[in-house]
Structure 1
């Protein structure tokens, strides 16, 4: 299996090279040259593997189609080291629970940081440690987070040999619990940088540093954001697991609703569908920062500047530049790298938007790719949280509530809908108190986390300041 850049860089790399590389040298994102195709016989075999051997064994089956430069025995061991009941709280790893008629929640937030990002990040940490030891080298991870990626990455990488983490977050724009999870870590290989701006400013800095090839190579910069293909690949697994959990026949179809900001989680669903998983709909749910909903409704992708990016009660989705969206557009345009580069390079730089509404490919958004979308507001998510609590006694975090709200608009008789959970409600307790008048339960181990000493550096949204900080830490 070889990987190519969405922007046409001629080099084709193997998995472990792009694992450590992050962005391609031309600024594009890596994708496999082709998606492995899963036929009915393979689906049936995987269903048996999942039922008899569990989530880790299914992860190995899927990942081995994309990873041929790690010996199978080692890859299998990495999967089984990652996906354990001790780490994820249940042998099922990603169990489903029924919310309503035809509507289910995929519990993806039972890992160490109580967010779905753990599902991929725990594997990524083990992959990094394995490959760095094999090469006898080190890696400085640079990431951006709107809330949950940061803590998931830091908990996965803390204490890992050969790894430092430099995590950028928007200063003052995460919940108190999210900040405490990250900033309370005292491990010497973890560095938190609070950027005076919004998430998109953090993400732009990560991309700018990665685009400086001399700096990137000198300081061995890698990424853990979902721009890293390995992270997105790990997320593909729970789409198959959700399908097997809810269906009895491989002829049955299923839909997924995904809270969406950076488009990584739902892009993993796109990959699963392209492989052959019988997905009817991929429902893209946004909050007030509705760049993606606008595109799927109109064909216009219009990036908002920082000043027009709203601060909402589902903060992990407060994103106006969806990095992984480039991967889907590349597929949508028949893998035309030159056109993809023009759209995400010169066109966005010139006007801040592009419009594909007149392109024949856009007409296939629903029929060929299964995408539909919707938007949720603060009032909507409060209503959804209240309704779930009153009718089923279940608490939803605000991001999951956004997805439930939009999912209900796209329910189809006979086709179950699975909402991918973002986090446990305790991470956003202020919104739960506003909706329900009560605090959500929190694990005993996390009591008082907001009062722990914090280790964080506040910086302006300047690329050179971040580079200087990284250089100073690495050269000391």
Structure 2
């Protein structure tokens, strides 16, 4: 297995080199040269595996034996051994047509833990093996930062800097990042929105001299290993729901902002997992819904919503889907991305739009939709949704058919977004680790939206 760039200007790389590269050196995103296809017989064999064993089966198709099997198992067992549920990502039946997969049983109570606990262990493993210092750099709309910091805090040979939009994440998300006082962690709170933070990260990775000088590594979903680690729970979810769904088709509804989580589902389907509909659930920052409905991909006006982790207008992983949509033509991908840069939008033909609509359904939940879903499911099913999962539920109700089964991904514990829960006049009890955050001092540096200031902060951090 080799890995190539969506823009075609990078020599094929192995798995470890791909992980270390993060953003491709030509500005594209790294993808497998060929997606391995799992046979129906293998799928049946996989359907009864534990989460860790399923993880190992999937990763074995991608790592090229660059990590010995025993080492990979040790990394996986360490990554998922500290989750609060023995199944890692349990599936709960809510009604005859709805299941919820809970992805929030990791250390920071969000789905990002599923990939980032493994990435933290993997980077630490690479640092020990190669004797290199690794400088992890990322941007977050809330959950990635906390999960990434938790995955590498205190680890020798690794420093991590996370940018987050000042005042635009939930209080718990902010505290989970900024109450960490380890010397290898730097939190930069940027006066701007997530898209501003993300663009500065991409600009720094595109500066190949700076990237090489400081051994920059990516923790965002621009790094393919993030995508691959998330793919595992699509298989796990499908197998659990299929046990009870009989002959009904299985859909999966995915709260989506940066297109990474939904692309992991797309990758699972390309590997042979027979998901019926992949439903993109967005909020009022609904660029992805508009793309699926109209064929126009154009960032709009940024809106702050009750689901802040999805307050994103520029979806990084969209380029990966574009590559497969364009029949793996890297030159066309470059043309499309250049058009997006110069004209501010991409517009598809009617024929191409019909292709997209075969791949995805989509629904953009309003703030009111979000709150109403939280209230409804608490009252009718005694199940408390976080606001992102509530958007996924709203999309399920709009897009899943009466004879179909749907799994909605629960991407965070509701305690992380109590600002939304209190608007529903619902009181919740915080888990002890979250409650403890409110009495801890914070450590962050508030800066203007200024790339030069970010560089100055990084150079001081890396050289101390």
Q: How high is the TM-score relative to the length of structure 2? A: 0.97
Which residue is equivalent to 1:119? 114
Cα RMSD (Å) = 1.3
What's the offset of the Cα at 1:381?
0.8
1:339-396: CA deviations, max 9, x gaps?
111212x2122121110134x43322233x3x11011011111110010000011100
Q: Which deviates more, 245-254 or 216-225?
A: 245-254
d(CA) in 2 for partners of 1:469 and 1:216? 15
What's the offset of the Cα at 1:106?
0.3
Alignment of 1:99-114 (within 5 A): 99-114=94-109
Q: Secondary structure at the match of 1:365?
A: helix
Q: Secondary structure at the match of 2:407?
A: strand
Which residue is equivalent to 1:309? 302
- Would you say the 8 A contact 1:25–1:211 is kept in 2? yes
Q: Secondary structure at the match of 1:192?
A: strand
Alignment of 1:188-337 (within 5 A): 188-248=183-243, 253-304=249-300, 308-337=301-330
The correspondence for 1:364, drawn from 338, 352, 355, is 355
What's the offset of the Cα at 1:91?
1.3
1:207-239: CA deviations, max 9, x gaps?
000000000000000110011000110000000
d(CA) in 2 for partners of 1:37 and 1:128? 27
- Please state if 1:447 is matched with 2:413: no
Distance 1:284 1:21, change over 3 A: same
Which residue is equivalent to 2:30? 30
- Please state if 1:351 is matched with 2:340: no
What's the offset of the Cα at 1:252?
6.2
- Would you say the 8 A contact 1:252–1:278 is kept in 2? no
- Would you say the 8 A contact 1:99–1:388 is kept in 2? no
Q: Secondary structure at the match of 1:88?
A: coil
- Would you say the 8 A contact 1:261–1:318 is kept in 2? yes
d(CA) in 2 for partners of 1:254 and 1:125? 32
d(CA) in 1 for partners of 2:302 and 2:10? 36
The correspondence for 1:155, drawn from 150, 153, 158, is 150
- Would you say the 8 A contact 2:293–2:357 is kept in 1? no
What's the offset of the Cα at 1:162?
1.0
- Would you say the 8 A contact 2:134–2:215 is kept in 1? yes
Which residue is equivalent to 2:58? 62
- Would you say the 8 A contact 1:43–1:250 is kept in 2? no
1:116-145: CA deviations, max 9, x gaps?
100110011111111111111011111000
Which residue is equivalent to 1:341? 334
Which residue is equivalent to 2:88? 93
- Would you say the 8 A contact 2:5–2:29 is kept in 1? yes
d(CA) in 2 for partners of 1:227 and 1:98? 32
What's the offset of the Cα at 1:415?
2.6
What's the offset of the Cα at 1:448?
4.0
d(CA) in 1 for partners of 2:328 and 2:297? 18
Which residue is equivalent to 1:2? 2
Q: How many residues matched?
A: 462
- Would you say the 8 A contact 2:292–2:357 is kept in 1? no
- Would you say the 8 A contact 1:296–1:372 is kept in 2? yes
User: What residue ranges of structure 1 are gaps of 5+ in the alignment?
Assistant: none
Which residue is equivalent to 1:420? 409
d(CA) in 1 for partners of 2:247 and 2:72? 30
The correspondence for 2:450, drawn from 454, 457, 462, is 462
Which residue is equivalent to 2:391? 402
